Chains A and B, each alone.
Chain A
């Protein structure tokens, strides 16, 4: 058997590649005999520099291929025999008229003829009763498969009226709402979500060759099949026709079959190319069985499809578990195989004897189980292998090849440790593509032993269980093939794409992966089908050029539209290397937006601060000086305001803190954050004597960096290390942001005002409450006056202590003159309240916290953790709510007294 991979590889490992890995190369010696000069290597992971030109694909046009939102509306409207004329009036009156598929029941005038109510026409007893005429809910006795006896959550929701929005999105979107404890009703993404993994394909496109067409020597036709309806239980078939626009369009003639059960998987058989024809059947797996449908004829002009009566096989015919996947034998039109959610599989045949109706029969000896108690997910795939007697059964943890001739099975892959299987695609008899949570792997199944040829680590989120793959093979010549591997998921609208190239016996990965952005999908893909449809037309042009034209049909996870896309090869990109013009991330994205996609990008550039060119230290100093004046003026004004109405009603206003921003206009462009920090520090130090409290730097830095940093300069440098905006002038932006943060968030409040506020509040209390507070700790009435300010000073000391810790980095050694100037300029506030007992800061920091700490074990009322901790552990003071704190303070006081 021919070796597929010429490049060196290990058995069971293959050529193992990923981003940045181009291992496993072959040396091409320098005999200068080669046609390609200057190439010494045949890489496993070619980056596309020399050997194989990179194809870049682009998603071009997109338009709906099938839009069945309107169909359901038509359907219901057609069944409405009464009151259709009035209905539109009513729905227009109602605010939530978007529920087109719902029927509104009302009492017509004839029914209410005897009513006393003088109604103009209609009376709505209920505001809105949505009764869905959905076939999935109907219980019919004569259907081949018994309908389910349950009321779907949907129905209840829509009757209640609360969950009507989910009516459109929920079920059809396949985001199987299992039960969800934290389901958000407002349409926002719920925190948790479970998905039914057996919901495989709700759309399928396949080639159909009817017997009549075969006789007439006509080509096979593309037929699209999809499920629709609220419960997804109607199977629709339509012919895809060539239209004027590029790509295909869906014929208007639709064949709809009600299967009375949710359609989970639609499959068209692909026959082996040796047959030279396509099949005329398709299979649909529903929640409770398998339905096989045979297409009798296709009308040439109208595109009308006619099908034989569907034949079904109930889920109970095998082992009472729902079927998970079905597959047709590529070498035998009438043979198929099914697998159920627990791994029981069986071969079946479609038999037709004489005039009797054809039926499906399961084989009694070609069956078995792959049940694995260690496998919980019900996701299963079943495909035919390299021979007519080989089956490939895939579950999340295993890939098993079943040999029906030898009656043996081989567990090819056991994925139970680092990864799990995500998808399996059969490319042809020889190649298969396995997608795991970590890699995409090409496998050769045809050789005497299975060969793992080439794998590529795709770096996609391994937790995403909804990854599915799609392969498109483009044959250039007999042994030159391109493989386009697409990976899509329900969680994103971007599709991962990677190229592989086979040239004779060299299987290579080419270029880097790329992402394709698909247009107006909401949520991710539930199914993506990519095929190269028009073989006949473009095959000649393709041989000499790299022109690739792919057709994609996608059904997204939340809407009822199937979109079609054209994917075209872009012009070869000029290889982008390091010396790229300085394009920024944000601006480039604007130009990259595909036409028609709804994303709005705002050019951020104009709003960003720009580093000014000729800036030096002198300008900084000027700015600082200017700002120093302004801020101290503002502060003095504020101090004045605080002292004015100390006794009046405006006391509550006094207690409000102001930000640094409110005092003066923010400082302009500066470059030295260290200097700015020390300016602020001096400012704070200066006004601390004036009984003013400032929010300190560690509080801000903890919020930003989770570590207390005292110095603004240090904080700035730390932020620079971890902020990267991907644009020019990052330092400037960081400075601006940090400046803004400091200005806005450095709170200033007056301690003296607070203390008088306390007394005021105390006085305002009723006698009863006052007594209660008095009795609380039985404080000395004399002591009362003293404790309050002290207590508060100690409370605020907690915050301000850190700012008193000498800054670790220089605090403006070379600018004492400026500081002196600042201090000299600031007028002493004459009206500073001397009457208030002003605790000296050194005293407070020296004694109070220390004593507090020594008694902490006795004092703490419960084991509550402190709201925040300070930088140094020795000054650890728990700050709790006000009352607790005061209580503790009093307790402590008492004890102190006791000791004293």
Chain B
């Protein structure tokens, strides 16, 4: 019932796949032919028609310039009142000629019309501005049957010697049915499927020991791609590593993955892939998901939940500075230099550092000398500047990345104020008097009112944007309030 972490590439699968793409391609060609005839014959070219056609051309087949030229010519002819029989014949011939080539790799041909996304499993287009005119003509039964008949005639040539099973699949598919997933037959596959099932069910039940066993067995079996199951692996290790010191932590595991599987390769759109790159691997244009997850996990680990600041943070400080170093190297090379999320992590790293350092200024426990305070004040300022810089870079990247910018800016401003709260209380008072009161615990109950508010972030977001007593810093908000 779960996804197998390997490619099942039997002969039948290949045959059906090939047939499917072949059939789809021929259908597509036939449909275009019919559509262009219909457009040419029924209506004169109107701006709307052309726009729709251009849009669909741009979508599907920008490379296919010749056919477009041919179509335009045909339309002109039809407008002039010429018959289209001879052009049709030549058309047919031309397509028959290319038909041999189609058979070579129909899948490749299919994907010349479609982008293979790397970030998501599907191509998402969420911009309503990009809407195209509605296709108002309905498809008639006759046209559809005609298309299908032609397409089938052309495909059936290659179908003489396919197996019964493949034929069954194809026939069902052609008629709009769907086939049920087959259960694996070979012992090897059955073994993998069982282990995989156990792995997932045990994760779901929270039996981490058993899940760990399944995982460690599964990744040792031949044919298994560990990149397909790194998520469960990281999850298991996160649970187990805290108790079992012998095991590596999930950060180490993800770090290992990031080290082993490089992101330096190019993602070749024209290649036929059997597995998706979305969660599995990275390329020069796509930061691998496990690398990003690793960075996040490192960040979480350097500032874990539940620790009381600011004492006993030497270890986490060290981790944080390591992470900062690593990130500063990573953002110099693709794909990370173009990934806004990595820049955002970078910014948050600086934010966390600034927070932890500036803690010393408001904490009453740590008494430090003036010199040390000066040094750390400089550090905090630097972190804050860096954070601002990273945020700006993050926003400048072409992929739109949205995050609550206002909250982060506010936080940074708060940290900055902490530095000067002892020396100049008057300057800080207009921005958030809660921070001074913070020192006396009996005032804690009033802080929800006074503080510019980290706590409302958990409960209600409105306070960030809507409350009247909010201090606005003049940054343009990321959301309209």
A residues near B (Cβ < 8 Å) are: 1-3, 5-13, 16, 18-36, 38-42, 47, 49-50, 176, 178-182, 191-198, 318-321, 341-344, 346, 365, 367-371, 373-374, 376-379, 401-403, 406-419, 421, 436, 438-439, 448-452, 455, 457, 459-466, 479, 489-492, 494, 503-506, 512-515, 573, 575-580, 583, 585, 588, 721-722, 724, 726
Evaluate contact between B169 and A192: CB separation under 8 angstroms: yes
The 4 A-B pairs of least Cβ separation, nearest first, read: A378-B176, A20-B235, A578-B243, A8-B403
Evaluate contact between B138 and A407: CB separation under 8 angstroms: no
Evaluate contact between A3 and B479: CB separation under 8 angstroms: yes
Chain B proximity of A824: nearest CB distance (Å)? 45
Contact among B136, B204, B478 with A515 in the assembled complex (CB-CB below 8 Å): B204
Q: Which residues of B contact A412 (CB under 8 A)?
A: 124-126
Main SS class of interface, A? loop
**A30, B234: Cα distance in complex, Å:** 27
Evaluate contact between B276 and A419: CB separation under 8 angstroms: yes
Known interface pairs A368-B134, A417-B116; A19-B304 also in contact (CB < 8 Å): no
Q: Which residues of A contact B126 (CB under 8 A)?
A: 11-12, 412, 449-452
B residues near A (Cβ < 8 Å) are: 1-4, 20, 23-24, 27-28, 30-31, 59, 110-111, 114-117, 119-141, 144, 147, 164-165, 168-169, 172-182, 198, 200-210, 213-214, 217, 220-221, 230-236, 238-240, 242-244, 250, 276, 278-279, 289, 292-293, 296, 299-300, 303-310, 340-341, 344, 348, 351-352, 355-356, 359, 399-404, 407, 411, 414-415, 434-435, 438, 447-448, 451, 453-455, 457-462, 478-480
Task: Show 12 A/B contacts (Cβ-Cβ < 8 Å), sorted by A.
Answer: A11-B400, A12-B120, A20-B238, A35-B459, A41-B303, A344-B138, A370-B135, A411-B59, A417-B116, A575-B206, A585-B198, A721-B220
Evaluate contact between A368 and B135: CB separation under 8 angstroms: yes
Chain A residue nearest to B240 in the complex (CB):
A578
Known interface pairs A28-B457, A457-B231; A376-B140 also in contact (CB < 8 Å): no
Evaluate contact between A10 and B169: CB separation under 8 angstroms: no
Known interface pairs A319-B140, A376-B173, A489-B1; A461-B119 also in contact (CB < 8 Å): no
Evaluate contact between B200 and A459: CB separation under 8 angstroms: yes
Evaluate contact between B119 and A13: CB separation under 8 angstroms: yes
Q: Which residues of B contact A450 (CB under 8 A)?
A: 126, 128
Q: Which residues of B contact A19 (CB under 8 A)?
A: 200, 203, 231-232, 235
Evaluate contact between A418 and B278: CB separation under 8 angstroms: yes
Evaluate contact between A373 and B147: CB separation under 8 angstroms: yes
Evaluate contact between B217 and A342: CB separation under 8 angstroms: no
Evaluate contact between A461 and B181: CB separation under 8 angstroms: yes
Known interface pairs A406-B131, A580-B207; A21-B231 also in contact (CB < 8 Å): yes
Q: Which residues of B contact A18 (CB under 8 A)?
A: 231, 279
Evaluate contact between B127 and A465: CB separation under 8 angstroms: no
**A513, B204: Cα distance in complex, Å:** 6
**A12, B276: Cα distance in complex, Å:** 17
Evaluate contact between B125 and A436: CB separation under 8 angstroms: no
Q: Which residues of A contact B462 (CB under 8 A)?
A: 504
Evaluate contact between B306 and A38: CB separation under 8 angstroms: yes
Known interface pairs A410-B125, A515-B204; A39-B305 also in contact (CB < 8 Å): yes
**A515, B250: Cα distance in complex, Å:** 24
Residue from A31, A41, A50, A179 with most neighbouring chain B CB atoms (10 Å): A31
Contact among B176, B250, B289 with A16 in the assembled complex (CB-CB below 8 Å): B289
Evaluate contact between B121 and A409: CB separation under 8 angstroms: no
Q: Which residues of B contact A463 (CB under 8 A)?
A: 181-182
**A415, B117: Cα distance in complex, Å:** 9
**A401, B131: Cα distance in complex, Å:** 9
Known interface pairs A407-B134, A413-B124, A459-B3; A28-B399 also in contact (CB < 8 Å): no
Chain A residue nearest to B404 in the complex (CB):
A6
Q: Which residues of A contact B296 (CB under 8 A)?
A: 22-25
Chain A residue nearest to B354 in the complex (CB):
A29
Q: Which residues of A contact B1 (CB under 8 A)?
A: 460-461, 464, 489, 491-492, 494
Evaluate contact between A465 and B136: CB separation under 8 angstroms: no
Evaluate contact between B2 and A459: CB separation under 8 angstroms: yes
Evaluate contact between A25 and B300: CB separation under 8 angstroms: yes
Evaluate contact between B136 and A365: CB separation under 8 angstroms: yes
Chain A residue nearest to B441 in the complex (CB):
A32
Q: Which residues of B contact A588 (CB under 8 A)?
A: 207
Evaluate contact between B139 and A342: CB separation under 8 angstroms: yes
Evaluate contact between B178 and A34: CB separation under 8 angstroms: no
Evaluate contact between A374 and B110: CB separation under 8 angstroms: yes
Chain B residue nearest to A466 in the complex (CB):
B180
Evaluate contact between A726 and B3: CB separation under 8 angstroms: no
**A41, B204: Cα distance in complex, Å:** 23
Contact among A3, A376, A494 with B478 in the assembled complex (CB-CB below 8 Å): A3
* 14 other A-B residue contacts (CB within 8 Å) besides A10-B401, A21-B289, A38-B305: A6-B461, A10-B400, A28-B454, A30-B359, A35-B455, A36-B455, A41-B305, A182-B165, A191-B165, A192-B182, A376-B23, A376-B174, A406-B131, A479-B460
Chain B proximity of A372: nearest CB distance (Å)? 9
Q: Which residues of B contact A320 (CB under 8 A)?
A: 140-141
Chain A residue nearest to B481 in the complex (CB):
A2
**A341, B231: Cα distance in complex, Å:** 38
Chain B residue nearest to A573 in the complex (CB):
B206
Evaluate contact between A722 and B133: CB separation under 8 angstroms: no
Q: Which residues of A contact B415 (CB under 8 A)?
A: 29
Residue from A18, A198, A466, A492 with most neighbouring chain B CB atoms (10 Å): A18
Evaluate contact between B2 and A460: CB separation under 8 angstroms: yes
Chain A proximity of B401: nearest CB distance (Å)? 5
Chain A residue nearest to B144 in the complex (CB):
A342
